[in-house]
Structure 1
Amino acid sequence: MTDLVSLACDLVDVPSVSGDEAQVARFVASYLTDLGYHVELFDAAPGRPNVLATTDRPPRIVFSTHLDTVPPHMPARIADGVLYGRGACDAKGIMAAQIGAAERLRAEGVDEIGLLFVVDEEMGSVGARAANAHPLAGECRWLIDGEPTDNRLATGCKGSLRLTLCTAGLPAHSAYPEHGRSAIDALLDVLMDVRHATWPTDPMFGETTVNIGVIAGGARPNVVAADARADLQIRLVTEAAPVQALLERAVRDRARIDYLTAVPPLRLATVPGFETCVVRFTTDIPHLTNWGTPLLLGPGSILDAHSAHERISESELLQGVDTYVRLVHALAVRKAEA
């Protein structure tokens, strides 16, 4: 087992479901301090620290990814050269690869680099929003954001619209449902129309997709439901406004819509000589605008992220380090030619 895989394994073993990132932040901060970085822990919210590591020079290129994971925590397990566990590819393996790349670059004498690891990417990007106000952000020219792209440079990523649909009913004895009004039945009718709505498409990003991720409602099976809700995430290929208009047309006045977050799709910078892709997920990049030109790249497959078999192979991690180092070299050449 390489030190890289060992680090990734140690990171995966520290639980850090969104909202509970402090332990892994302290672990990373201690690790980077031992490597000789200047490390700052700064709270994005009470008890939820971001980690920023720099050298003696202002950071012109910053590697960044997120500390948090989706639930549930799954401890690390290694089998046949593959690391399994929550965060293996999203994004603790990526964090290990970025640290490995930074160490190789420092050994080569490249010292205008930094590492920024933030909380809450999987929820509302509270960490990225706080990091965007950091005074060192203005020193940075390039932000290399790490998400699982199979070590390809993403030319674009979809946006995201998160919302909750809420319906109200009239409770009654379930033996006499005609004396009540079911909020669950009303919600199901609304969701059926939402699922059958026609959503925008885009030549680059493809189709708008709707995921009904959570449904909840009612109190007991012998009571007509007084309330119900559904949490949705819509992957945007356009700005949010036209999708909101279509949603409101589908819902009409049958449910309350609580909009939570909206992030537009992004077209991203590319660098010659790197394989590219378009990704359907959303990142912290829209909230890190002060950290220079963003690039999106990382080892691992998004198809393994958030799954019961989340994984990343040792070869992917090693290739990730190589690709990150090569990308920084390419950016240095671009800077020299400017």
Structure 2
Amino acid sequence: MLLQWAPLLTLVLSAIAEPGQKPLPEASNETPLLPESVSSELLYLHRTLVEISSITRNEEKVGKWLASYLRDKNFTVELQEVAPQRYNVLAYGKKRDTTILLSSHIDTVPPYWPYYYNKTTDIIGGRGSVDAKGSVAAQIIATLGFKDQLQDDISLLFVVGEEVDGAGMRAFSDWAKRPEYEIVIFGEPTEGKLVCGHKGIMHPTLKAIGKAAHSGYPWLGVSANDILIEALERLVVLREHLPWSEKYGNTTVNFGRIEGGVAANVVAETAEASLAMRLAAGSPKEIVELVERALKDVISDAKELGGSLEVSWKNEGYGPININCDIEGFDKITVNYGTDVPHLKGDYKRYLYGPGTIFVAHSDHEALKRLELEQAVLDYRRLVIAASKMEHQENIDM
């Protein structure tokens, strides 16, 4: 499946194509890093993707537009139905089984924020401009910049559902028709740096059930709020003693949503809390055991009072994810957010890179600079070339 790369650098440097030209916005204060026609195509593609709202579970329109765009660029495109009106987009050239896969996600968090481009500051914003339509656009333009054999050994995959549960990548990973790859480059906002790994994640939910009563006679009821508060107190103590590592730091626990009761003068019958745990070390099984041990007495006490406390887990979660970052010339970081990397099963080299910073993602000021987009095109090309050469060398050494 590997290509004959020699002389690889000569082939690649002579293989940069210029996609079809689109009207370029007015000149900005910064010199483009790409040829004018390539920069124009990049901005057009990025703008169109951002202008199409694609909040998770409503990705149909952007997926179908992207499929049409890629077909116009002579890709073979397959739509994998993940759920009704939700499709992953798989695109490739002359062959379906390729060595390299570039992948990112086309869904965004709510709410939708419209696209804008400030030509004075060269800042481009809008929902998804960073997370992760910046990566989508840059990966496509980077691939279009290769010709002949190299482009034919690259596939593109753009998935739905990453922002909620990874449904798109999970479905692709389990797809009976899925090709196997040797190199997968994932796109997320990484500040233009190569990520060496990210924390794991688990989502426990605590649900307390009591007995409603008049607040003037609280002894006639059982307060679900009291049960939940005591449970959360135990977890506040526990989070100071969770596994940590030199690479990822401390495991963190965020009490993201807490609700209970119906009124101040009513003993609460139900209460619930949703948590996000970012794992710096340890396995999901170990974390479950620690949480259960911390809450054992609370569960027992609630039962004696006539109430209950249940702990459920949104999914199995995962521990810290180590990612390949063995390519020279890139700054290296670790990140605390989750990605689709652990959802694609298989034996392959995996890299994580993208334009923009996570610190503005999911916000009303999500934005990045045009030069960050252009640099990402160049960097994705560098990643493809370097990772492919390394894979080729490793196969020779074997």
Q: Which moved more, 1:133-142 or 1:302-311?
A: 133-142
1:329 alignment partner in structure 2: 385
SS in 2 for 1:164: strand
With over 3 angstroms needed to count, the CA separation of the structure-2 counterparts of 1:234 and 1:47, relative to structure 1, is same
Deviation of 1:109 (Å): 5.1
- What is the alpha-carbon distance in structure 2 between the residues aligned to residue 151 and residue 122 of structure 1? 20
Residue correspondence of structure 1 range 1-338 to structure 2 within 5 A: 1=25, 2-57=40-95, 58-79=97-118, 80-106=121-147, 110-134=151-175, 137-197=178-238, 198-237=241-280, 238-252=282-296, 253=299, 255-261=309-315, 262-273=317-328, 274-290=330-346, 292-337=348-393, 338=396
Contact 1:154 1:270 in 2 (8 A): yes
Q: Which runs of 5+ in 2 are unaligned?
A: 1-24, 26-39, 303-308
Kindly provide the CA deviation profile for residues 124-168 of structure 1, in whole angstroms up to 9, marking residues without a partner as x.
211111111345644421110111111111111111111211011
Deviation of 1:288 (Å): 0.8
SS in 2 for 1:256: strand
Kindly provide the CA deviation profile for residues 202-231 of structure 1, in whole angstroms up to 9, marking residues without a partner as x.
111111011122222323444322111111
- What is the alpha-carbon distance in structure 1 between the residues aligned to residue 43 and residue 149 of structure 2? 22
Contact 1:143 1:291 in 2 (8 A): no
SS in 2 for 1:110: helix
Kindly provide the CA deviation profile for residues 15-68 of structure 1, in whole angstroms up to 9, marking residues without a partner as x.
222222212111211111111111111112232211101111232111101121
TM-score normalised by L of structure 2:
0.80
SS in 1 for 2:314: strand
- What is the alpha-carbon distance in structure 1 between the residues aligned to residue 142 and residue 148 of structure 2? 10
SS in 2 for 1:39: strand
Q: Which moved more, 1:120-129 or 1:263-272?
A: 263-272
Contact 2:327 2:387 in 1 (8 A): no
One-letter identity of the residue aligned with 1:331: A
Q: Which moved more, 1:325-334 or 1:216-225?
A: 216-225
- What is the alpha-carbon distance in structure 2 between the residues aligned to residue 30 and residue 270 of structure 1? 33
SS in 2 for 1:186: helix
SS in 2 for 1:90: coil
With over 3 angstroms needed to count, the CA separation of the structure-2 counterparts of 1:218 and 1:309, relative to structure 1, is same
- What is the alpha-carbon distance in structure 2 between the residues aligned to residue 221 and residue 168 of structure 1? 17
| Aligned-residue identity in percent | 38
TM-score normalised by L of structure 1:
0.93
SS in 2 for 1:248: helix
- What is the alpha-carbon distance in structure 2 between the residues aligned to residue 242 and residue 135 of structure 1? 32
Contact 1:138 1:290 in 2 (8 A): no
Contact 1:37 1:54 in 2 (8 A): yes
- What is the alpha-carbon distance in structure 1 between the residues aligned to residue 222 and residue 211 of structure 2? 5
With over 3 angstroms needed to count, the CA separation of the structure-2 counterparts of 1:138 and 1:7, relative to structure 1, is closer
Contact 2:144 2:151 in 1 (8 A): no
With over 3 angstroms needed to count, the CA separation of the structure-2 counterparts of 1:226 and 1:153, relative to structure 1, is same
**Backbone CA RMSD of aligned residues:** 1.9
- What is the alpha-carbon distance in structure 1 between the residues aligned to residue 199 and residue 340 of structure 2? 12
- What is the alpha-carbon distance in structure 2 between the residues aligned to residue 243 and residue 21 of structure 1? 34
Which has the higher Rg, Structure 1 or Structure 2?
Answer: 2
- What is the alpha-carbon distance in structure 2 between the residues aligned to residue 95 and residue 302 of structure 1? 16
Q: Which moved more, 1:183-192 or 1:217-226?
A: 217-226
Contact 1:15 1:73 in 2 (8 A): yes
SS in 1 for 2:214: coil
SS in 1 for 2:274: strand
- What is the alpha-carbon distance in structure 1 between the residues aligned to residue 360 and residue 383 of structure 2? 24
Contact 1:65 1:118 in 2 (8 A): yes
- What is the alpha-carbon distance in structure 2 between the residues aligned to residue 23 and residue 211 of structure 1? 34
Q: Which runs of 5+ in 1 are unaligned?
A: none
SS in 2 for 1:132: helix
Contact 2:327 2:383 in 1 (8 A): no
